Structure 1
Amino acid sequence: MASTKPAALIDDPSVGDHDGDASTVMSTPRRVALIDGIRGIAIVLVVLSHGWVLWPIERIDETAWIRPLFRSGNFAVTVFLVAAGYFTYVSLASRGLENMRPGVTFVRRVLRVGPSLWLLLAVVLVVSTLDGTDKTKAGDNADSVVHVLTYTWNWYVQGNLLTSRPDFGHLWYLSVDMQAFVIMAAVLYMMRRRPVGVLFVLGGLLLLLTWWRFHVTDTEFVFQVLVRTTARMDPFVVGVILGAALPLVRRLELPQRAVRLTATATLVALAPLAYYCVQDERFLAWGVALLELDLALLFGATALLVEPSRAVSAVSVRPLVFLGRHSLLLYIWHYPVFTFLARHTEDWGWPVRTVVALALTVAISLVAHRTVERRATTLLRHPLWAEAADGLVPLARARAADGVRRLRRA
């Protein structure tokens, strides 16, 4: 008989099958495909939002029903942030909050994202040295790379917009994501013995961040707000709240009909929300609040579904799933590829330039997947991580003791 236990949304290979604790997870290809499909849609919107360097945008901006397809990059990144917040909670609480090991999870997170990012930075440094059309100064290149590496890029561009590398602009998201992870890991660790209290603390933090975003939207230049950590991390907090709340919601044993209706309704609602969030001012105000709530309900309902509805299953078609599973690499590479090609093909027609840019982005992403990301995933599945369950310091001590014993025997 098939199991009726609902599946959570899994992305981190550190999360496996667990029974009985607050982060109960059963990762099935069908349910993961649903989330990958949604992220596939999100990465398409991100790529389209940066296509202005390749194709003319006048007619796009003049056509109301087309504009959301090409101006929804911030909308799409919110999808990634809510999902990342949820994955963070599942990863940290995989053995229960009391037994969480934030240091281990942090190292795994760096190893998951870092290699692909490091490859991009290395390639850009080499190309910028050899490419005469790259006008960024060597010192500015070095500063830009250092701040991307240290996940402080969004802070750097706020005060150095004109000198920072323009083709790194989209990497603000990775900085906000990592900063939000560190903050949430600290909050969860301090509240690890109060699982219900976590919801109250996170709820209060979400209200504070929401108020702050409204405030800075009214008082600061919109670009500053769009890359400010405290104005963009609330979707991440919503994702963490979803992870903390789901175990309690599961106990209610909600009717599958209601869950299915919620999943379908929230999925359909993404279309009008994308239209509403096209303007940055609306997005930063009620747009983010409505979108992150809708996404939390959608992801939560998807996790609780025993059998997905037809509408929700529609996003799990293979092309979207493929894009979702490679969304990190596509996100990292697409904008540098677009700007490089735009510099070297000024006399090309935009249709040809667009096709070449998209094909090149996909090709480079696939090569990076085979050469870097597969190895990173293999590393994260190494048995050594099971030994790190009690923390990195005990593991280091145990390894050091083993080394000393071997030397004595020799």
Structure 2
Amino acid sequence: MDVTRTRTGPRVAALDGLRGVTIIMVILGHHSLIWPNMALAAVPAVDGLFLGGAVVIFFIVGGYVVTRGLLAERERGALDPLKFYLRRILRLGVQLVPLVLAILMIHKFDPTDPSRSSDTLASIANVLTYTWNYYAIDNVFSARGDLGHLWYLSVQQQVYLVLPLAVLLLGGLRRGFAALLLVGTVAITINRFRVLGDDGWFTASLLTTTRADGLLLGALIAVTLPFLTRWAKWSSTALGLSATAMVALVLLHASFGPLSFLKIWGVMFAVAATVAVTALVVGGPLGMVGRILGTRWLTAVGNASLPLFVWHVPIFVTIARHTPEWSPSLRSIVGLAVLVAVTILAQRFIEEPTRRWLRDSSRFRSRPRDLTPSAGCSSSET
């Protein structure tokens, strides 16, 4: 869910639009929290919209955007892993701190909150330290359920601890770096199948070593982008075919059986999503699919994907807990209205100011190395 500001123009809008489609699918996947027996979720083909698995697109887009930024900083001689970590902590912290404050207020003043104080504090501590996925695995019955979706941010941040160091060391060896990322992706996929068989779906769905394949695929796109531009003229065709494949996979999701997002369905969906993201960033024409993804409302939703993601589960869980007598449709309308209102406020007063601050402040950007020739150095030593 990183902001795609690496380029200007319709191509960035289309990538934002893809993120918009993704967050809509994620929210649909969690809509059972507020409407447990939605009739649409039982309709063949349509039921695939509610079965999850779309989060891999966020991983791929995020891995691409972050890796491309790190590679650009390295080329300028401005890559500082410590400042990168600081930017990431601030970027997500400004969303997570208000959330955990809200959770603390709910726990203190809401008599229907089922969690113990010790469990709430432990859950919050692990969310803020991005170890939540491992805590949830070890404390499945006591970890707060309204924070469960934040496993995604923990996996992301854990990979981002290693990524800037990898770019620093291997960024100049693109082919070797790409090969390493590809091997890592395959290894994570194989490990997910192994853990699923040995330890069950819950562990397989939360471990960094089973879910980080999308991040590595995104990094692979960024690393190989200079080699991929020769295929730019085929980008519209590739985008159309990959989008068609993703739609077909979603519609056929239920036919692949339970937990298919962790199995072969998930592998095929990740491959199709990787092709789609590559087509959006490699250059060349975007075609009809690109124009659809670039529509204003989809890009607006994509730009708000982080607050939408962070807040939707706690809002749904809290409202559902307080409205057992309401009709599911009324509960859904109220839940979505509250989510939209909170997102607008978070976007205006938290998200956008933070983006500008991190972009404009020199405190969070390393200065490029001095490129001015000096005694004993030739101008080619840049």
Fold match, TM over 0.5?
A: yes
SS at match of 1:52: helix
In the aligned structure 2, how far is the partner of 1:386 from the partner of 1:106? 10
Q: CA deviation at 1:320?
A: 1.5
Q: Which residue of 2 aligns with 1:67?
A: 47
2:291 counterpart of 1:299: no
TM alignment of 1:355-370, pairs within 5 A:
355-370=333-348
2:29 counterpart of 1:49: yes
Contact 2:46/2:251, CA 8 A, preserved across alignment: no
Q: Which residue of 1 aligns with 2:260?
A: 282
Q: CA deviation at 1:377?
A: 1.4
SS at match of 2:285: coil
Once the two structures are superposed, residues 46-99 of structure 1 have per-residue CA deviations (whole angstroms, 9 ceiling, x without a partner) of 111111122142644532212111222xx2111100111101211211134583
Q: Which residue of 2 aligns with 1:22?
A: none
SS at match of 2:54: helix
Structure 2 counterpart of 1:218, from 184, 197, 202: 197
Q: CA deviation at 1:339?
A: 0.7
SS at match of 2:325: coil
Q: Which residue of 2 aligns with 1:178?
A: 157
Contact 1:101/1:389, CA 8 A, preserved across alignment: no
Q: Which residue of 2 aligns with 1:209?
A: 188
SS at match of 1:381: helix
* Alignment size in residue pairs: 367
In the aligned structure 2, how far is the partner of 1:10 from the partner of 1:179? 15
Structure 1 counterpart of 2:3, from 11, 26, 32: 11
Q: Which amino acid aligns with 2:101?
A: A
2:116 counterpart of 1:137: yes
Q: Which range moves more in the overlay, 299-308 or 140-149? A: 299-308
Q: Which residue of 2 aligns with 1:244?
A: 223
Structure 1 counterpart of 2:319, from 328, 333, 341: 341
Contact 1:269/1:294, CA 8 A, preserved across alignment: yes
Q: Which residue of 1 aligns with 2:246?
A: 270
Contact 2:4/2:16, CA 8 A, preserved across alignment: no
Structure 2 counterpart of 1:121, from 87, 94, 100: 100
Q: CA deviation at 1:319?
A: 2.0
- What 5-or-longer segments of structure 2 have no aligned partner? 370-382
Q: Which residue of 1 aligns with 2:354?
A: 376
Contact 1:267/1:298, CA 8 A, preserved across alignment: yes
Q: CA deviation at 1:295?
A: 1.5
In the aligned structure 2, how far is the partner of 1:370 from the partner of 1:308? 30
In the aligned structure 2, how far is the partner of 1:97 from the partner of 1:10? 21
Q: Which residue of 2 aligns with 1:315?
A: 293
Q: CA deviation at 1:246?
A: 0.8
Contact 2:19/2:305, CA 8 A, preserved across alignment: yes
Once the two structures are superposed, residues 132-156 of structure 1 have per-residue CA deviations (whole angstroms, 9 ceiling, x without a partner) of 1112111111000000000000000
Once the two structures are superposed, residues 325-384 of structure 1 have per-residue CA deviations (whole angstroms, 9 ceiling, x without a partner) of 101000000110011111111111111111010000010111112221122112112241
Once the two structures are superposed, residues 191-238 of structure 1 have per-residue CA deviations (whole angstroms, 9 ceiling, x without a partner) of 234222111211221221122112112222111111111110011000
Q: Stretches of 4+ moved more than 4 A in 1? A: 276-280
Q: CA deviation at 1:288?
A: 2.5
Contact 2:83/2:364, CA 8 A, preserved across alignment: no
Q: Which range moves more in the overlay, 264-273 or 310-319? A: 310-319
Q: Which residue of 2 aligns with 1:19?
A: none
Once the two structures are superposed, residues 113-148 of structure 1 have per-residue CA deviations (whole angstroms, 9 ceiling, x without a partner) of 210111111111112101111121111110000000
- What 5-or-longer segments of structure 1 have no aligned partner? 1-8, 16-26, 392-410
TM alignment of 1:17-32, pairs within 5 A:
27-32=7-12
TM (norm. structure 2) is 0.90
Once the two structures are superposed, residues 286-306 of structure 1 have per-residue CA deviations (whole angstroms, 9 ceiling, x without a partner) of 222222221121111111233
Contact 1:154/1:227, CA 8 A, preserved across alignment: yes
Contact 2:235/2:285, CA 8 A, preserved across alignment: no
Q: Which residue of 1 aligns with 2:146?
A: 167
TM alignment of 1:141-160, pairs within 5 A:
141-160=120-139
In the aligned structure 2, how far is the partner of 1:282 from the partner of 1:137? 34
* Structure 2 CA distance for partners of 1:193 and 1:320, relative to 1, 3 Å: closer
* Structure 2 CA distance for partners of 1:255 and 1:147, relative to 1, 3 Å: closer
SS at match of 1:306: coil
Contact 1:43/1:330, CA 8 A, preserved across alignment: yes
Q: Which amino acid aligns with 1:107?
A: L
SS at match of 1:389: coil
Contact 2:87/2:364, CA 8 A, preserved across alignment: no
Q: Which residue of 2 aligns with 1:23?
A: none
TM (norm. structure 1) is 0.84
Structure 2 counterpart of 1:353, from 323, 326, 331: 331
In the aligned structure 1, how far is the partner of 2:57 from the partner of 2:84? 22
Q: CA deviation at 1:307?
A: 3.2
Q: CA deviation at 1:311?
A: 2.5
Q: Which residue of 2 aligns with 1:101?
A: 80
Contact 1:10/1:32, CA 8 A, preserved across alignment: no
SS at match of 2:73: coil
Q: Matched residues, percent identical?
A: 28
Give the RMSD, CA atoms, in angstroms: 2.2
SS at match of 2:366: helix
2:231 counterpart of 1:254: yes
Q: Which range moves more in the overlay, 96-105 or 205-214? A: 96-105
